[in-house]
Every structure is written in structure tokens, then in C-alpha cells.
Chains A and B, each alone.
Chain A
Amino acid sequence: MALEPAVTDLERLKDHPAVAALLAWNAGAVQGGKFDRNELSIFIAREFILGACEKLKAQGLVNFLSDLTCADYYPRAPRFELAYHLLSHQRKERIRLKIALEGDDAAVESITSVWPSANFFERELFDLFGIHFLGHPNLKRIMMPEDWEGHPLRKDYPVEGYR
């Protein structure tokens, strides 16, 4: 099974119900799309992520938040890419929403109002990446001690830690 080239052209992806629904809702919010290795990613502008989640959930296109995580592309800018893995039990399909965040302004709206399960995932990202989630009910460190300095999963944090 050879890898097929990724489809990154939004025109070719707009037949997908989730892409169509988001474009119909707010074409300015959708920055791009990617269909690679049988997985669909939709790039959303940062300020619209909460609305996009609400929209997809309200339309019944997804109903479950599987995972929320982040990757640090340091030293590239924008530095962080958040990946929201959404699942539809009915359609048996996953959708990945992605947003990009700058290193010096790593803040985004919390989606705990849509899926309360985002609570722990967002706390983990706050702890290990230093990303702020606005409107989170309890944004505190979860893995590291409260008085820990730095965010260990950032690429400029050494693997052995500071000595």
C-alpha cells in the first residue's frame, strides 16, 4: 500500500459534509484542508474554533471529543499547532480540526462549554506547552508540580531538563 499524495486543495474537499457545513457557516473561518492517509484535517482560524466545534456538534456531524493535543514546530512560526480529534459515533468517522498559535501569543478559547471532557486535555496543554485557554474553569498545572518553571514539551526545553 503505497502512500497516496495528500489532497490539500479545499475545492476538492468541499464535498465532505463537515467542510461544507463549516464553509456554509463562515467561509472566513476555514483556512484550508488536508486529506492525508485517510484522515481529514480542517484548518480553522484561531478565533473561530469554539464556534466551529459548536456548529459541527449542533449539526450532528460529530458528537464526541476524542482527543485534544498540540505539537510544537519551533523554530517555525506560527509555532504551535493544536489538533482537535472529533469523532462521530453515527457516521463512524473522525475529523481533525487544527489551529495555529504564535509562540508569544499562545491563547485560545476553551471548548469546555461544548465538551466538558476538554477540561483535562486543556489543562495538560497548559501545563506542558504553556498554552492558555480562555474561559477554562480551572486552568492549573495537572502533571507537573504547581511551582514548576517552564513547559517540558516545548521543543526549546531540554530532554534531560534544566540542571
Chain B
Amino acid sequence: MGHLETTPVLDSEQDKTMILNMGPQHPSTHGVLRLVLEIDGEEIIRLIPDIGFLHTGIEKTCEAKFYQQVVPLTDRIDYLCPMINNLCYVLAAEKLLGLEIPPRAQWIRVMLSELQRISSHLVWLGTHALDLGAMSVFLYCFREREDLLRIYEMVSGQRMMTSYFRIGGLALDPPLGFFDSVKNFLDMFSERVDEYEDLLTGNRIFIDRLKGVAHLSAEDALAMGVTGPALRASGVDWDLRRDMPYSGYENFKFKVPVSQDGDVWARYVCRIEELRQSREIAKQALEGLPEGPTKAEAPKVVLPDREKMKTQMEALIYHFKIVTEGFTVPAGEVYQAIESPRGEMGYYIVSDGTAKPMRVHMRSPSYANLQALSKMCEGRLIADVVAAIGSIDIVLGEIDR
């Protein structure tokens, strides 16, 4: 008989912590986000995001499509606000082409973008509250979102993947009854926001889960590339709609909510106020809507009206050429950024002078914002991770692309 095997001993330093997988199937990760948590009891030592589960190679696909065929792909990046993605792409393409867009098209674009911001924030509010145990807000938010989806369906024929903004203007002038629907929605919406606030803003449990949680200072937010409401909640007064206006935003009056607290509560307050401000902008766009065409004067780029196509030889030829061989875009590169509900959405397009883009890169706000998650959560409890993820409002579609 040899020596008895010594019983293995737990190495006290190494075995103090535990690795915990959160996701990719966890409901409160809002998609397929996997977080690797190193925890000591309930406390988080390290948090490492693992992404790429939804990677579909959209940027590569864009290189094989004509410029106008890229528009439907952009819907699928951030599926909570497809029109804002359309807008960013078409603005970049128009900048490459040097196209001037008629005011009516610009105003309708602004109006629909703000409605999209509202519907995106509604999904955020509903799911964020649901994650923290407030069930009914979710139902209320989705009730209003349903109204908005009907408005998008009216205007584009699709509830979600709208592809309504095209290079050079809009797909069509909005149909009869569209502006009435928007007006009805905007008239009713203010009270609805009050309703959400009644349920949450004074709610002791909700406040306790949010106040002082996942703090992020302004310096850290800027260093980590955070943009959008999360940046403004950390005290940086920056909104691309106001500070670097695009698509006629300089014509609208609105406030940019800023908070100095930098916690989850501040992000909640900023987004709720954005709901009200977006309503204001959409209302101004509706009331001051100019008359005129909704497409640019550029027969080689913009598809002709159906009526013209049937009566005019030229129009038919242009239609045939655009559909079969696309249109060429002068060589060059542009970076166009807009304020999406999550932050700075940017499109970088390189053209080599052919009908297909040489490179399309999407700078998605969630991708950069996600980097700040580790900073927010380290040293806090597991339950706070759920609140923190909700507060940066990530969409995995645009993170993985």
C-alpha cells in the first residue's frame, strides 16, 4: 500500500470567485447577448460581454447590391427604428450624390423619424419596466406602439421593415387619412406618457431599483464612446439633431433633456422627456408641413412616377435603367451621422464610381454603448446588471450586424 491520496484542497484565492453565464438566451439581455460574469457571492468582479451571435454580414452583403437595394438591408440593422436607419443611409448616399431633397420630403422624414423614436422608446420603457417587475407598463406601451405600427403600415405597407425613405426622397406621398392618424396619435399621446409616469415615476420599488445604480461619469462615458440618452444622462449636453442638424432639424424647436446624475434613473428620466419632446417635433412637422414634391429632381437616380412611366418614353427608359443596372455614384467617401434613439448612428460609405458601394460601414450606437456596461456594473449586484442593460437600451441586431 502506498501513501493515501491527499484530499484535494480548495485554493482559497482562486476559488473565491465563480464564473456565471448570463445569456445568450436570458430574457433580460434583450436579444442574444451573452455576458460572462465573474462573481464573488452576489457581487460582480468582472463583466465581459460576448457578442456576435446575430452576425449576418450585412456590411459584406451591401457591397454586392446596388445603392438602392441597400435600403431594405438597413431596416434590419436596428429593427426597433428602421426608418431612422433608412434615413441615415439615404442621407449618406445623397451626400455622395450631391442631391437636394425637397422640403416636404424632409419634413415628412423628420415627422416619421420622431414617431420611430417614440415607438423605439416605448419598447425600451415596456421591457425595462418588465425586467424590473412592472408588468402592466409593458402592456400600455405596446398598446401605443401598435397604433404607431398601423401608421407605418399606412404609409409604407409594412409594419416594421418599412424601407419608406429612398435615395432622393420618399417612396410615395403619404396616403389619404395618414396625417389625420398622426394627428390623432399625437393628440392622445401626451396623456399616455402621464399614465406611464403615474405607474413608474413615483413608484417606490421602481425608484429603489434605479436610483444610484450603474453610475457612469461624463469622462468615462466619453472615453467609452457612449452616445445618445445614456451620454446626456451623464451630463454631456450633446444631441446631433440640435448641434449638427441634418434633414431640416434646424427648423424645429425642442429641448434636449440632460441630467447630471449618470445613473439608471437619470437615463429613465431623460428618455421619458424625449418621448414628450419627440411628440413636440412631430407636431411641429405636421402643422408646418410644406406642400410640394416628395422626390428630388434627379431622373437618373429617383424612380419615375407610375403615371409618367406609362405615358413618357424617357421615364420608362430611366425606370428600366435604374432597376436593371442601378445608377453610378461619383467616387468619394462620406460619413453621415444622425441621432438614433440609442445614440450616434453613422454610415460610412466609400464609392468607387460604380453602381455598387465599395464599402458600407455602420457605426451603431449600441455597439459602442455596450463597452460601458462593464464599467457600470463592476462592484455591483447581479440584479443591477438587468437594470443596467435596460438602461443603455441595446439592440443586438445593430451590434452584430
Query: A-side interface residues toward B, CB under 8 Å?
Result: 1-3, 6, 36-39, 41, 63-67, 69, 71-73, 83, 85, 89, 92, 94, 96, 115-117, 119-121, 128, 141-145, 152-153, 157, 159
Contact = CB atoms under 8 A, between A and B. Distances in A.
A69 B64 CA distance: 19
15 contacts: A37-B332, A66-B346, A67-B335, A67-B348, A69-B361, A71-B361, A72-B359, A85-B346, A115-B225, A117-B225, A120-B370, A141-B52, A144-B52, A145-B52, A159-B64
Interface in B209-254: 222-225, 236, 238, 243-244
B187 interface: no
B51 A116 contact: no
Interface in B341-378: 344, 346, 348, 350, 358-359, 361, 363, 367-368, 370-371
Given A37-B332, A71-B359, A115-B225, A153 B59 contact: yes
B192 interface: no
A141 to B, nearest CB: 8
Contacts of B96: 37
Nearest to A98: B333
**A interface, over-half SS:** loop
B99 interface: yes
Given A37-B96, A92-B244, 14 more contacts: A1-B98, A1-B100, A3-B98, A36-B332, A37-B332, A39-B335, A73-B358, A83-B333, A83-B335, A96-B335, A117-B224, A143-B51, A143-B55, A152-B60
Given A66-B346, A115-B223, A143-B55, A92 B243 contact: yes
B361 A67 contact: yes
Nearest to B50: A142
Nearest to B226: A117
Given A1-B99, A153-B60, A71 B350 contact: yes
Contact of A143 (B361, B363, B400): B400
Interface of B: 51-52, 55, 57, 59-61, 63-64, 95-100, 222-225, 236, 238, 243-244, 330, 332-335, 337, 344, 346, 348, 350, 358-359, 361, 363, 367-368, 370-371, 400-401
Contacts of B337: 66, 94
Nearest to A93: B244
**B interface, over-half SS:** mixed
A117 B346 contact: no
Contacts of A143: 51-52, 55, 400-401
Contacts of A38: 95
Contacts of A65: 225
A67 B236 contact: no
A39 B334 contact: yes
A16 to B, nearest CB: 17
Nearest to A154: B60
Contacts of A120: 367-368, 370-371
Nearest to B346: A67
Contact of A152 (B57, B223, B346, B400): B57
Contacts of A116: 223-224, 371
A85 to B, nearest CB: 5
B223 A83 contact: no
Nearest to A94: B335
A41 B348 CA distance: 13
Nearest to B220: A116
B61 A83 contact: no
A37 B346 contact: no
A144 B98 CA distance: 36
A48 B224 CA distance: 23
B85 to A, nearest CB: 15
A37 B95 contact: yes
B217 to A, nearest CB: 13
Given A37-B96, A69-B361, A153-B60, A119 B371 contact: yes
Nearest to A153: B60
> 5 tightest A-B contacts by CB?
A117-B225, A3-B98, A67-B363, A71-B359, A143-B55
A65 B350 CA distance: 19
Contacts of A152: 57, 60
Contacts of B100: 1
B348 A69 contact: yes
A159 B73 CA distance: 15
Contacts of B348: 67, 69, 83, 85
Nearest to A41: B333
